[in-house]
Amino acid sequence: MLSCLKYLISRSGLPYPLFFAIVCAVSYFSGIFLALSIGDVGLFLLDHGFILLCLFGYVSGTFTMLLVDTLNASLTDVEEYVEAGSIEWGDFKRRVEEKVLRNRAYWLVFLFWMTYSFYSIFVSRVTWWRQDYRGQLLMDVYGYLMQGLNGCFLGGIFMTLVSLTLNLAYREILSHRVFSSEIVMPRGKRRLSRFKKLVLIETFAAAVASALAISIWSKAAPYTPIIGSLIMVLPTAVYPHYIFYRILSEAREEKLSLVERRIEKLPEGGEADIGSLVLLGKLSIELGRVERAKPWLVDLKALLQLIGAAATSQILGLVLKYLLS
């Protein structure tokens, strides 16, 4: 499903922010034309949820492609710290891409939300838009299709990406132990900067999408958007940090063992020459640097910034909900 979306964007020849801006704008203006045809354009313009839904679709689609591109760039950046050969590394990158782009979970999430939306709109008659249009059935069909595009399709892809498929990619990296022990050292960790950016972007994006989801759907289904938001935010706030902690911890232990073995092989006492003593000094310094290496991808400052940004997005969502209620 995500691979199909990526193919459509590539075929359009447009930058993905512009592509999603056009798609979401067309979906909104088609509602204006429909409202004009039934004489309810004033009511439609007052239904602010439709604008928020388009914004939700734009945020979901844009962040989805940004995260996919950042993951690919992250893998390219760390290539020099990979122990596998070029062919094996290429195969590994393709497997990671498969997990992210072609996972069946995208279709399951999409079908679930489409079915849930159909039941809520046409069976339970519970909607977040107005129920006093002259052509109510036409507006309900439009709302269902618009929600299907921006919410179930684009939102479903984003939700599956941040809560599942990216985490599967991280687990693939951990399970195959692709990095050398040098990745834990300062220069190696600098090469992980794009992974750090990736984790920060996905957590922030999940918070922004959650705030919009609560603003749109909480009036019609109070618990559903909250549960969906937790499904997006909690995995991004916990699992990637745990995975990279494991990766860096294992790299540090391996590096410590390597340096300690080199020290043990050096001659002792009267057998030690000047060269051995100099090497011992260098290895002792290196041992100290390895022991001081922190196995965290995201430092405290960045984490606090992330928490602040997430809190701001949630507050913004509550403000929007209050203003539009």
141, pLDDT greater than 80: yes
Between residues 80 and 36, the one the model is more confident about: 36
pLDDT in tens, 162-221: 989 999 888 888 887 878 777 787 777 777 888 888 888 888 888 888 888 888 887 766
91, pLDDT greater than 70: yes
The mean of the pLDDT values for the chain is 82
pLDDT in tens, 1-39: 788 888 899 999 999 999 999 999 999 999 999 999 998
pLDDT at residue number 48? 87
Percentage of the chain with pLDDT > 90?
30
DSSP 236: H
Token pair belonging to 238: 């916990």
pLDDT at residue number 26? 95
Between residues 3 and 287, the one the model is more confident about: 3
Between residues 184 and 112, the one the model is more confident about: 112
268, pLDDT greater than 70: no
Return d(Cα 224, Cα 213) in angstroms, integer.
9
CB contact set of 252 (below 8 Å; sequence gap of 6+): 181, 184, 290, 293, 295
Q: What is the mean pLDDT of residues 67-92?
A: 81
pLDDT at residue number 257? 83
Between residues 198 and 274, the one the model is more confident about: 198
The model's confidence at residue 143, banded by pLDDT at 50, 70 and 90, is very high
DSSP 269: G
- Alpha-carbon distances, residue 76 vs 84, 86, 97, 109, 209 (angstroms): 14, 12, 13, 30, 28
DSSP letter string over 99-140? Answer: HHHS-THHHHHHHHHHHHHHIIIIIS---SS-S--TTHHHHH
318, pLDDT greater than 60: no
pLDDT at residue number 95? 85
Token pair belonging to 152: 């179930």
pLDDT at residue number 310? 57
Element (H, E) at 72: helix 49-77
